[in-house]
Every structure is written in structure tokens, then in C-alpha cells.
Amino acid sequence: MISARSSNQRFDTLCGALTVGDAASARLEAGGAWALDFAAKPQLKFNIVERGGCWISFAGKTLRRLDEGDAFLLADAPAFTLASDVSLEAANGSALFAAAPAGVVRYGGDSVALVGGTFHVADADAAFVRITVPAFVHVAATDKASTNVRNIHALLLDELANARPGASLVLGRLLDVLLVLMLRANSAFEQRGSAPADDPRVSRALELIQHEPTRAWTVAEFAAAAGCSRSAFASRFVELVGVSPIAYLRRRRMHVAREALRRHGETVASVAENVGFASESAFRHAYQRAFGCGPRAKASHDE
């Protein structure tokens, strides 16, 4: 049985570690007999069935009916198919959206409508999301969490549709809330015994990194805090989180640095020093590797 503390740790770790990049809204309208395939992508996808209903399947398996008012989330989105009839040969839905103006696809009619959004997850976080969040989270319209999920979903779509100041910050916070609401309603998340927060050795290290990300931690210190050998700790950490403890620590520092630049307006030099870099140049290179652009470009982009 998973304790309340373990569950709370898992939510805190997920929301604290996740880096969300480019976001976009999407709308699919379909009618008649139809089926569309979508390629796997390192994204968080969320959708609500606004009208009608359809089926969703993954590699021909895990068939699930989606009815009007249902919401679903795909974490580190696997390849999937949406269809009115699963026996039909599917068209390339990814290609249709790639060519669609304003992220709206109409395919054969409009008796079924799904509306939602996609959030690109930083490459460094994809493995963590994959082991922490179920690949498919379904919240039925009849679920008690459904009203709150729909409300947050509407706010997310509104932010995506309107370029307002602070949109990046608001989107990140709303996505955190949406994730928590949907995962609360999903028993697979509560039962997921291989999550990092369920192993006290890894959980302790994650707590230390969350609370003191700028400290010059070593694997030996993490192992001592976890009460096991360096090799046993490092092996278990990589198994559950997907990267080494030091790589995860570096990633967390980059998140702290980005927030300092975005929210507090600190100089690049001061942020570099505060997160433990010996030089501004080394910090700039690390930032470029983590986010694909320089620290000044990122800060101005988010504004």
C-alpha cells in the first residue's frame, strides 16, 4: 500500500522537476467512418472529448472508449490511434496536423470533436516522466474529478490561444495542476510501485536535491544519506530516474537558474555563481545544452 506521504512526494517531485517547453493547442473534428494514427513524441498531450465519442488504442492494444466529456492525458506520448471504427485502415493524423492551419483538423465531418493541447517535455526529463506517470490517464465525464479537470483544461486553452504577458509561467502552473488532478483520479499512478518516490534511498536523494540544488553534492553524500553503498545507490537511482544522480542534480540547477532569470531578473553572472559554476562561460554552455538557447535568449523568450 502506498502511503499518503509517498504519494505527496511523488507529486512534488514530478511538478518540481518537469521542464515544459513549446506548447500548442489542437482541435480535431471528424465524422463518418474514420481512423487516424499519431506518431510517438516526447510530449504531454491532453484532450477532452467535446462532442461525440471515439476509440483510442496503442499499437493495436489497450482499446478504450472515449465518450463526450471524457478527458485523457498521454505522458511521453506513445504512438496511438483515434477511430470511430478500429477495423478501418488509419490515415496519418500527425501529417494532417503538421499541415493544418492553427492546429485545427477536420476529417470527414464534425460529429466528433476533441480539443486539447500538447506540451513539449525537455529531452532530459522524458525518461523521468516515462517512469513516473502512466502513459495513458483517462478521466471519465462521470468521475468526481471531471469538473475540475475541465475547468483547468479551459484555462489552459485560453492561455494557449492568447499571447499574454506571463503566459509561460501561467501555463507551467496550470499544467502542474492539471497533472495532479488527473493523476489523483488515476489508480494506476497510486499503484505504480517503481516510481522514484517509492524507494526511500532514491526519494531521500531527490528531497536533498529539491531543497539544496546549488550545493556541491557528491554521490558518496547521497549514498550516505540513503544508508547504502555508492554503487548500490547509483545503480538504483539510474534504474528509477533514468539518469545518474549528478546528471539529475545538474538538470535541477539549470531549472533553478532558468527560474531566477525568468522571475527575478538576475544577471547571468550572478545566477551562474549562485548555482555553483566557476565561470559565466561554463554556465552559458551548460544552459545551451539544457534548453537549446542561451540564458538571455531564454529569459527574453519567456517574457
pLDDT in tens, 185-234: 765 444 444 455 568 888 888 888 878 888 889 999 999 999 999 999 99
- Regarding whether 263 and 233 lie in a shared domain, the answer is yes
pLDDT in tens, 26-64: 889 999 999 999 998 767 788 899 999 999 998 767 689
- Could you give the number of structural domains in the chain? 2
Q: Measure the CA–CA gap between 63 and 52, rounded to whole angstroms.
A: 17
Contacts of 107 (CB under 8 A, 6+ apart): 28, 29, 30, 31, 34, 36, 91, 96
Q: Measure the CA–CA gap between 114 and 13, rounded to whole angstroms.
A: 30
Give the CATH number for residue 117.
2.60.120.280
- Regarding whether 73 and 220 lie in a shared domain, the answer is no
Give the CATH number for residue 291.
1.10.10.60
- Regarding whether 170 and 238 lie in a shared domain, the answer is no
CB neighbours (10 Å) of residue 191? 11
For cell 484555462, what's the residue?
155
Final residue belonging to a domain, choices 190, 218, 240: 190
- Regarding whether 214 and 74 lie in a shared domain, the answer is no
pLDDT in tens, 110-163: 999 998 877 766 655 555 566 567 778 888 999 888 888 888 888 887 887 777
- Regarding whether 294 and 185 lie in a shared domain, the answer is no
- Regarding whether 236 and 176 lie in a shared domain, the answer is no
Helix, strand, coil proportions of the chain in percent (round to 5)? 50, 20, 30
Residue 66 is part of which domain span?
4-190
Nearest alpha carbon to residue 38 among 94, 87, 78: 94
* Overall pTM surpassing 0.95 (yes/no): no
Cα-trace Rg, the chain: 21
- Regarding whether 266 and 121 lie in a shared domain, the answer is no
